[in-house]
Amino acid sequence: MNVLWIMADQLRFDYLSCYGAKHIDTPNLDWLAGQGVRFNRAYVQSPICGPSRMSAYTGRYPRSHGATWNGFPLPVGEITLGDHLRELGVSCSLVGKTHMTADKDGMSRLGIDPSSPIGARVAECGFDVVIRDDGTNHSDSTSRHAEDYDAYLRAYGMDGDNPWEEWANTGVAPDGSLRSGWYLENAPLPARVPKEHSETAWLTTRGIEFIERQGDDPWLCHLSYIKPHWPYLVPAPYNDMYAAADLPPVNRSDVEHVDEHPLMAAWRQTRMCRSFSRPEVRDVVGPVYMGLIKELDDQLGRLFAFLRDSGRMEDTMVVFCSDHGDNMGDHWLGEKDLFYDCSARMPLIVYDPRKSADTTRGSAPEDLVEMIDLVPTFIDFFGGAQKPHQIEGRSLAPLLAGESTDWRDYCVSEYDYATRDARRMVGVDQSQAKLTMIFDGRWKYTHVEHFRPMLFDLETDPNELTDLGGNPDYADQITRLSDLHFDWARKHHNRVTRSADQVEAMTDGKEPPGIFIAYKDADELAADGLSLTPKRQLRSAN
């Protein structure tokens, strides 16, 4: 058995036709959803690349692993999916993006050589790297991982100091001039790189080749696409396949400015939100975003055809998800970062090849699922024991098998805005720039340190336009959800070195061997079935 874990970046759940999108057709992902389970209420644990992925790869919340924003190293010592899988004899390989930043200080402190086999894995979040590429490969990037794609482009005659920049991130204007993909106005231009050699096509081929190379030993492959994350540029014919008229109406309202939360007021003033609130930006970028998604679906079609033809659909669990969404002008916002569904809710499709999953094929349950459920699901799939002392997510196995189970009542997501402009705009300290979402399937509550909370009722307000967080009529709801937040905050999350079985054995044992507390005399000791006579000899007297 194997796992192919596919992740897209910045893909909104509602831009897939299987999730109800009417403006775009994604037949290949729809097909996968028909073969498996499409989780309709799946949420990431932080709506931004870095911490979302660190959570995804550890099965732990950001408050637990501590890599709470992009570029924050994952502390050495955090146990990763790769660690769990290798214990089970399963390899864990990366083809694409992780956004991992190595804890160099920690590795140095513990004497872990990054060029050793262990060190290489620690530096790469537990993965054995086939390809590491995070996209956004401008020459000044301090985390540029484009060697493989650059070499590939050069091999196909697309040379330059920075082939990614000059071919994949450069558009061709009608007059033949070259334009940068960083500028939103250039989004509709065809990328200079032909579609056969786009990042998405290239990565798909690398994934297929990886799978082809595998033998009988079980493997997990994390095929981690860069798109549709910006730069928003895509080769023909995807660049102008869609137009502004194809976009869904933007989801925003002046109502959102009424009694506006102070943090939201500041956030909406940031440059990127003002930029994406401009119709001329959304109208130009949105269709290209759709084109990138269409390209991805087409390439997944190629991948899924390979899986079918090669027999991998018999023995490989196939998972598709995204690390977060894209506001794309909704709520007067750009980018991601916040907890609206367009940002924090992710598409999640799980194809489980086992017979036990036959009863759920094509279903779309409403159970609240967290990204961090994937690590324990994979461990379970490969026959490993659950580790609730180390992993905070839950195995999806019962849901995949259609078994009734006691599932979670609320899901959690977090956001650390300490490094964002908005923090200074609202005058909050680094340690206080924290948001925590508690969503129970209807009520989406956001605790905002230092300010009033935000609250949306997704039953009566599915578009999340009316923030009830400052409305005294909802005080009881807020108290209830705040209590859930407190419950979650109190849970053990660092007690990782003793499993439940070990704790139970210690409780059975009362005291460790050789410890005798509060016994008045030999009779009391004997009454507890103990004896001072050593069971083992240390060394004889001289």
Whether omega for the bond prior to residue 228 falls within 30 degrees of 0, making it cis, is: yes
Query: If you ran DSSP here, which 8-state letter would residue 473 be given?
Result: G
331: tokens are: 């709520």
Give whichever of 26 and 436 is closer to its own copies, judged by the CB atom: 436
Rounded to whole angstroms, what are the CA distances from 288 to 96, 282, 292? 22, 10, 6
Closer to its own copies at the Cβ: 240 or 283? 283
Q: CB neighbours (10 Å) of residue 80? A: 24
Cβ of residue 113: shortest distance to its own copies, in angstroms? 9
Q: What is the CA 273 to chain-centroid distance, rounded?
A: 23
Residue with smaller CB distance to its own copies, 40 or 343: 343
Query: Please, what is the minimum distance in Å from the beta carbon of residue 244 to its own copies?
Result: 15
Closest by Cα among 380, 336, 441 to 39: 441
Q: Which amino acid appears at position 159 of this protein?
A: D
Closer to its own copies at the Cβ: 465 or 484?
Answer: 484
Smallest gap from Cβ 98 to its own copies, in A, equals 16
Nearer to its own copies (CB atom), residue 361 or residue 420: 420
In the complex, minimum distance from the CB of residue 458 to its own copies, in angstroms, rounded to a whole number? 24
**Number of other CB atoms surrounding residue 512 within 10 Å:** 7
Name the nearest CA neighbour of 126 among 159, 90, 155.
90
**DSSP E strands: which ranges in 127-193?**
128-132, 170-172, 178-180
| In the complex, minimum distance from the CB of residue 44 to its own copies, in angstroms, rounded to a whole number | 18
Omega cis (within 30) before 47: no
Q: Which is nearer to its own copies, 299 or 446 (CB)?
A: 446
Residues with Cβ within 8 Å of 541's Cβ and at least 6 positions away in sequence, in order, are none
- Nearest-Å Rg of the Cα atoms of the chain is 25
Alpha-carbon gap, residue 91 to 84, rounded angstroms: 10
Q: Which is nearer to its own copies, 12 or 41 (CB)?
A: 12
d(CA 86, CA 366): 32
Looking at beta carbons only, is 20 or 75 nearer to its own copies? 75
Query: Which is closer to its own copies, CB of 341 or CB of 414?
Result: 414
Nearer to its own copies, 31 or 417 (CB): 417
Q: How far is the CB of 341 from its own copies (least distance, A)?
A: 21
Quote the least distance from Cβ 36 to its own copies, whole Å. Answer: 31
Q: Give the nearest distance from C-beta 460 to its own copies in angstroms.
A: 29
**Least distance (Å) between residue 253 CB and its own copies:** 22
Quote the least distance from Cβ 365 to its own copies, whole Å. 26
Binning the chain into helix, strand and coil, the percentages to the nearest 5 are 40, 15, 45
Q: Is the CA virtual torsion 229, 230, 231, 234 positive or negative?
A: positive
- Read out DSSP for 78-119? ---HHHHHHHTT-EEEEEE-------HHHHHHTT--TTSHHH
